Amino acid sequence: MTLASLLSEDQIIPELTATDRWQALDEIVSHLVAEGHLDAGYRDDAITALRHREETMSTGIGFGIAIPHASCDAVKEVTACFARSKAGVDFESLDGKPVHCIVLFLVPKDQFQTHLRTLAAIAKFLNDPVVRGELASASDADAILKIFERKAA
């Protein structure tokens, strides 16, 4: 499984408007609903699950990266969204620095192994400083998606 296989151009937000993690979660989940990747009836359930996970410990892992994730009944398959913020989002990250790359994903309940594999794949992908630099300078959602696809090959 690659991150590129989880994303389409309409699952990429090239410039997030949120300034803190709670706004970011809301904006990203709302985007997934608007683009038809998440049923509007499950929007609040998804946000509740993500907030619960964030309240346990921030998913801002450092190096400008956050990977908010949760298991919930809102989805039947792994559903993801990539969001970029050039200004940075206060995610209460482990290193105290703003987040510029966010990969949010939801996994169906009781798919623990899928959840772990997805989290590991995202962390490995974003661990590369060259990739983070390319994502930061990409012009739009299409250019961002091409980075994911190229690095998956």
List pLDDT tens digits, range 68-89: 999 998 899 999 999 999 999 9
Q: How many domains does the chain have?
A: 1
pLDDT value at residue 142: 96
pLDDT band at 1 (very low <50, low <70, confident <90, very high): low
pLDDT one-digit tens code per residue, 98-148: 999 999 999 999 898 988 889 888 988 899 999 999 999 999 999 999 999
Residue from 31, 69, 100, 115 carrying the catalytic annotation: 69
List CB contacts of 44: < 8 A, sequence separation 6 or more: none
Range of the domain at 120: 3-152
Is 69 labeled as catalytic in the residue annotation?
yes
pTM exceeds 0.85 for this model: yes
**pLDDT surpasses 70 at 3:** yes
